[in-house]
């Protein structure tokens, strides 16, 4: 177990055997034998490895081992393998800490993911994803208002959402898969919030559309083509409709318009957490503008460089509290002690103790 974890931590740190050897003064031959399970590192060597690789010592002995299956990377073609290894290692580490946290509870505090019953059965054309998205919003009691915390909304419905800091080159576009039977979506922790939210809603679309799509071409199985272009378009349409329902689009922009001011799209972006370009597509899908008006505005976006960088302040990344909240809940219910809670959160015990004191003081003040 120690060898496998050492190998994973090294890859997650983006280091070769020789680079780790240079930083720890342990020969690369010995490290290779450690990773293969032929030798066992000493406690001092493990401490040095942990310090160099940016993990806690407990990492090498963690009982939980997550396995991610059905992985679909959203990555640029130039994304190097080292970066893929870093992302994968970071995701596995966080997935295991989720597993360890949830295993503390006699009954899981998070419901298992399930697509609600009563949604439209089959999708023959793109326009029907509006009905599907509206049905899901209704089943989840979301109404037509903006969803303020999409990450925590999905987590509370049984979708494991993980944010990674491993992408420091801007070449990672997301990941979807399954971890021990639980749907998994990975986004960049520091992406603009509108990019995070659209990626999350798009991947939710894949989960909800599975088994519902009937393509027009005979002899083609829609589920076998789950990542094909037609379904990708459907998932994009679902994402926009889920984040900004048709009635909200019409309520803000009016039923029929021949011209839109770009500032209207800026305001919608910051209210619904959807990019200006996505808001423009929503106006088209909702029938507020026609194709000619949409094309004219799209040309304007291209001319002004807004397709690469939209004007104004970016929509802030989402902050999630559910994981930390469940750690403190387990602590409050006596399911875990301070040391274990700090280990699950991945912070030093002293830092966790100070956080607990500050939060307790803040709660008492209120």
> How far is 254 from 256, CA to CA, in rounded Å?
6
Give the per-residue pLDDT at 160: 94
DSSP characters for 298-349? HHHHHHTTTTTS-SSSPPPPP---HHHHHHHHHHHTTSS-HHHHHHHHTS-H
Measured from the Cβ of residue 249, the count of other Cβ atoms closer than 10 Å reads 24
User: For residues 162 and 186, is the Cβ–Cβ distance under 8 A?
Assistant: yes
In the chain, domain spans:
1-61
> How far is 7 from 60, CA to CA, in rounded Å?
10
Classified as helix, coil or strand, 183 is strand
User: For residues 205 and 129, is the Cβ–Cβ distance under 8 A?
Assistant: yes
Question: Domain 1-61 carries which CATH code?
Answer: 1.10.260.40
Give the per-residue pLDDT at 288: 97
Give the per-residue pLDDT at 64: 65
Query: Chain-centre distance of CA 152, in angstroms?
Result: 10
Kindly report, residue by residue over 207-224, the tens digit of the pLDDT: 999 889 986 654 444 444
Give the per-residue pLDDT at 87: 84
Give the per-residue pLDDT at 78: 67
pLDDT band for 226, please (50, 70, 90 cuts).
very low
Query: Which among 142, 280, 144, 117 is positioned nearest to 208, based on CA atoms?
Result: 117
Measured from the Cβ of residue 263, the count of other Cβ atoms closer than 10 Å reads 11
Q: Which residues pair with 75 in a beta bridge?
A: 172
Report strand pairing: 68-75 vs 160-164.
unpaired
């Amino acid at each position: 177990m120690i060898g496998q974890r050492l190998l994973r931590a090294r890859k997650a740190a983006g280091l070769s055997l020789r680079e780790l050897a240079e930083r720890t003064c342990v020969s690369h031959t010995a490290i290779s034998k450690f990773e293969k399970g032929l030798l066992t590192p000493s406690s001092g060597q493990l401490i040095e490895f942990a310090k160099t690789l940016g993990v806690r010592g407990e990492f090498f002995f963690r009982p939980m081992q997550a396995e991610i299956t059905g992985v679909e990377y959203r990555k640029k073609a130039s994304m190097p393998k080292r970066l893929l290894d870093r992302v994968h290692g970071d995701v596995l580490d966080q997935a295991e800490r989720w597993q360890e946290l949830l295993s503390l509870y006699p009954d899981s505090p998070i419901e298992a993911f399930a697509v609600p019953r009563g949604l439209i059965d089959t999708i023959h054309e793109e326009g029907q994803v509006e009905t599907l998205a509206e049905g899901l919003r209704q089943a989840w009691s979301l109404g037509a208002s903006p969803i303020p915390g999409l990450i925590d909304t999905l987590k509370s419905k049984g979708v494991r959402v993980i944010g990674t800091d491993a992408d420091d080159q801007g070449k990672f576009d997301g990941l979807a898969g399954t971890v021990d039977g639980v749907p998994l979506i990975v986004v960049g922790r520091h992406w603009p919030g509108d990019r995070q939210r659209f990626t999350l809603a798009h991947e939710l679309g894949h989960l909800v559309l599975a088994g519902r799509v009937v393509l027009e071409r005979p002899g083609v199985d829609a589920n076998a083509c789950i990542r094909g272009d037609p379904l990708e378009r459907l998932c994009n349409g679902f994402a926009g409709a889920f984040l900004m329902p048709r009635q909200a689009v019409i309520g803000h922009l009016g039923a029929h318009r021949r011209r839109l001011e770009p500032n209207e799209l800026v305001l919608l972006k910051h209210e619904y957490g959807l990019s200006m370009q996505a808001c423009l597509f929503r106006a088209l899908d909702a029938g507020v503008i026609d194709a000619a008006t949409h094309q004219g505005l799209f040309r304007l976006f291209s001319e002004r460089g807004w397709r690469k960088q939209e004007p104004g302040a970016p929509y802030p990344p989402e902050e999630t509290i559910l994981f930390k909240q469940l750690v403190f809940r387990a602590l409050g219910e006596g399911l875990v002690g301070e040391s274990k809670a700090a280990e699950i959160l991945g912070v030093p015990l002293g830092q966790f103790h100070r956080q607990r004191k500050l939060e307790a003081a803040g709660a008492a003040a209120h």
